[in-house]
Amino acid sequence: DGEITEECYCGTDIYNSGYCCNAEYQTIECITPCEEYWACENWTTCLDGKQNRTCTEENDCGTTQFIPDLIQSCGNCTTEQQTQSCITTQSCPGTQTCVNSNWNTCIDTPNDNCPTTSNTGTTTLKNFTTNLQPNKIKDGETITITILNENNNALQGAKIRYTTKTYTTNNTGTVKLKTQKEFTEITISASGYKKQTIILVFRTDECGNEVCEQEFENITNCPADCKTTTPEQKLEIYIFKKEGSLVVKITDLQGKEIENAKVTYGTQTKYTNTQGIVDFTEQNQTQNITAEKLGYTITTKEYNPTTTCIEGTTKDCKTNSCPGTQTCINSSWSSCTDTPNDNCPTTETPTNTTTIILAGILIIGIIIFAITKFKIK
C-alpha cells in the first residue's frame, strides 16, 4: 500500500516493518535515499585547453555525490579518424572521432541502456505516459500509478517523488502510494526521459451533505445523498421580478414551500429560507435556474430577463390597431386587452365584421338569383 519496506536494525534485531529504531529505541520512519539523476548541457567551445558545461540534478535530491564532471580537457587531435573514449552530456560512455584536426561531439555508445545523443550533441529525452488522473484524487486513498514508456510498455525503475518519499516502479511499471491532501505535487523521473511534475487536485465531495455528487457518489457508496426519487417528488420553480433583483420560490407539486433547497442562477448559488424563497441579483442575459433538494429530482427552468415582468405592472399595447393594456401575471405579460369606451373595435370586432361580410354576400346572391329568374320568364 505504498509503504516502504526495508530491513531496519533496532539494537541487534532486524525488522521488516518499514520503521527503524535509533539509539534511544524510538521508532522513526524509514525513507528510501533519493537517487541522483543529472542532466547536462553541451560542452562549451574549447578554450585554453578546457571545456565547461552545466549540469542539473533532476530528482531534487539536494545532494551532489554523483555529479558528473563539469570541466574537461580539450585540444586539437593529430591523426584523422582517430577515436578516444569520452563521457556524453548524460554521463554515458561514448566515443569521439578526430575530424579535421578537431575532436567531434561525444557520441553515446549504442545499446548500453544509457540515453543517446544526436550528432549535434543535443540530448534526446523521451516521453513516458501515466494513468494518473490528478483531478479525481481523494484524501487518504491508496492510488496505483502506472508508468509506460514510449512504446506503451511498462517502465521499470522510474522514480516517483511524493511527500518525503521516493518510490520506484516495479517490473509492471507500477507503484502504490497513499495520498495526503497537504501534499499536492508528484514528481516522476526516469533515466533518459523528461521529468514530469503533476499537481494533484483533491475531491471536495462529502457523503452526508445532502448533495449527490454524481461523478463520485451513487446510491451504493452514499445512499444518504443519492436516494432514489419517485416521479411525484418534483420541484416547482416560480420566478418573480423586482426592481434590480430576482425572487425565486421553490415548492413541491402540492404547493408546499421547500426550505433549504439549493438554487443556482448562473454563477450564483443560494439556499431557500423557511418560505422557500431566495433572492438573486438579476443578470442581463438568459440563464438557467436550477433547484436541488435531497429526495427530489433536480429541476431547471430558463429565465429570460427580456420576457419576464414585475408582478402587477401594466404596459400599453395594440390590439387590432386599437390601444390596449397588458398586465404582468405570474411574471409574464397577459394578452393585450382593448381599452373600453374608446370608440375603437373591441377584440370581438373581427367576428362581427366577418358576419356582416357573409350577410352581404348572401343578399347579393339572392338579388342575382331573382333577376336571373325574372329574365327567364
Q: What residue segments make up the domains of the chain, in order of their start?
A: 1-30, 40-108, 129-199, 235-303, 309-342
Q: Which has the higher per-residue pLDDT, 131 or 125? A: 131
What is residue 33's predicted lDDT score, i.e. its pLDDT? 60
Under CATH, which number does the domain 129-199 receive?
2.60.40
Give the span between the Cα atoms of 231 and 331, in whole angstroms.
Answer: 27
What is residue 263's predicted lDDT score, i.e. its pLDDT? 94
Mean pLDDT score, 227-249: 77
- For the ranges 5-14, 179-188, 284-293, the lowest mean pLDDT is seen at 5-14
What is residue 49's predicted lDDT score, i.e. its pLDDT? 67
Instruction: Please report which confidence band the pLDDT of residue 248 belongs to, taking 50, 70 and 90 as the band edges.
Output: very high
pLDDT score of 277 more than 90: yes
Of how many residues is the chain composed?
A: 377
Query: Three-state SS string across the chain, please?
Result: CCCCCCCEEECCEEECCCEEECCCCCEEECCCCCCCCEEECCCCCCECCEEECCEEECCCCCCCCCCCCCEEECCECCCCCCEEEEECCCCCEEEEEEECCEECCCEECCCCCCCCECCCCCECCECCEECCCCCCECCCCEEEEEEECCCCCECCCCEEEECCEEEECCCCCEEEEECCCCCCEEEEECCCECCEEEECCECCCCCCCCCCCCCCCCCCCCCCCCCCCCCCCCEEEEEEEECCEEEEEEEECCCCECCCCEEEECCEEEECCCCCEEEEECCCCCEEEEEECCCCCCEEEEECCCCCCECCCEEEEEECCEEEEEEEECCEECCCEECCCCCCCCCCHHHHHHHHHHHHHHHHHHHHHHHHHHHHC
State the amino acid at position 12 in one-letter form.
T
Question: And the C-alpha cell for 264?
Answer: 443556482
- Say which CATH topology domain 235-303 has: Immunoglobulin-like (2.60.40)
Percentage of the chain beyond pLDDT 70 is 77
pLDDT score of 249 more than 90: yes
pLDDT score of 29 more than 50: no
- For the ranges 60-69, 88-97, 166-175, 280-289, the lowest mean pLDDT is seen at 88-97
pLDDT digits (tens, 9 = 90+) for 154-190: 998 888 989 888 888 998 999 989 999 899 999 998 8
What is residue 6's predicted lDDT score, i.e. its pLDDT? 44
pLDDT digits (tens, 9 = 90+) for 298-348: 899 988 887 767 677 777 888 877 888 888 877 677 888 887 777 776 544
- For the ranges 132-141, 190-199, 253-262, 284-293, the lowest mean pLDDT is seen at 132-141
Answer yes or no: same fold for 129-199 and 235-303: yes
Query: Residue 304, Cβ neighbours under 10 Å: how many?
Result: 9
Mean pLDDT across the chain: 77
What is residue 265's predicted lDDT score, i.e. its pLDDT? 92
Give the span between the Cα atoms of 20 and 11, in whole angstroms.
Answer: 10
Tell me the C-alpha to C-alpha distance, in Å, between residue 260 and each of 104, 219, 253, 257, 269. 76, 22, 17, 10, 12
pLDDT score of 214 more than 80: no
What is residue 278's predicted lDDT score, i.e. its pLDDT? 93
Q: Which has the higher per-residue pLDDT, 35 or 64? A: 64
pLDDT score of 13 more than 60: no
Highest averaged pLDDT of the listed ranges 47-61, 63-77, 87-101, 190-204: 190-204
Residues in Cβ contact with 239 at an 8 Å cutoff, skipping those fewer than 6 apart: 246, 247, 248, 289, 301, 303, 308, 331
Question: And the C-alpha cell for 360?
Answer: 352581404
Question: And the C-alpha cell for 208?
Answer: 452526508
What is residue 228's predicted lDDT score, i.e. its pLDDT? 62
